[in-house]
Amino acid sequence: MLRFPGKFSSDSDESLLRSYGNGDSAAFDKLYLRHKKGLYNFIIRSLAQTAAAEEIAQDVWMAVIDNANRFDSSGFTPGKAAFRTWLYRIASNKVSDFYRRKINQPADELDTREEQFESSQLTAEDGVLLQQLLDALAELPDEQRLTFILQQEGFSQREIAEMTGVGGETVKSRLRYAKSTTRQRMELKA
């Protein structure tokens, strides 16, 4: 759907956020229900700690609540953002903050990602491949992993550059290295 400044559909993310900023709590509920699963999946894929992912997801939604009146999405002009881009930028900043703090965290506090997939419908072979992929991604530098996961979430390179605050060429480079390194690590384990 094309979005034009001032001409949002009444159910667009931007108009829901604007309604919430004007006191309509039901509008926030719609936004939350629309984006909670995708946002949480992005965060959990970015981290090695389930508890931390849950905490970060809560922090992101609190930031949305606190900043709803400051959001400006006057189309796709430079410096303006669509709601989803803005939401994931907040999340990527929170994930980056987590990694900066993680340096001082004892290793035994990290949990495995296996528990995320125990109740899944994956075959045993798919589960092994998925765990190998997650392990390979976990070994990437934080910036490369975050960039790769944002692309897998469907964001364009331009949107990733906007969210992470780096140039488009840096995004391309991070993606290229992330894909190459992940592919090599997966081939070594095969």
Same domain membership, residue 50 and residue 9:
yes
**Which pLDDT score, from 0 to 100, does residue 11 have?**
84
pLDDT recorded at residue 72? 67
In a domain, 9, yes or no: yes
Task: Give a yes or no: residue 116 inside a domain.
Answer: no
What is the tally of structural domains in the chain?
A: 2
Structure tokens given for 175 = 């993606």
> What are the backbone dihedrals phi and psi of residue 110, each rounded to the nearest 5 degrees, phi first?
-75, 135
Q: Are residue 52 and residue 78 in the same domain, yes or no?
A: yes
Q: What token pair was written down for 21?
A: 């900023």
- B/e letters for 34-73, b = 16+ CB within 10 Å, e = fewer, are ebeeebbbbbbbbbbbeebbeebbebbbebbeeebeebeb
Choose one of 73, 91, 111: the last residue of a domain: 111
- 60 to 21, 70, 104, 162: CA distances (angstroms): 16, 15, 23, 17
pLDDT in tens, the chain (190 residues): 334 344 445 688 888 998 998 889 999 999 999 999 999 989 988 886 788 899 999 999 999 999 888 876 544 334 456 889 889 989 988 988 887 776 555 444 444 444 444 445 557 676 677 777 777 888 888 889 889 989 988 889 998 998 888 999 999 999 999 999 988 888 876 6
pLDDT attached to residue 49: 75
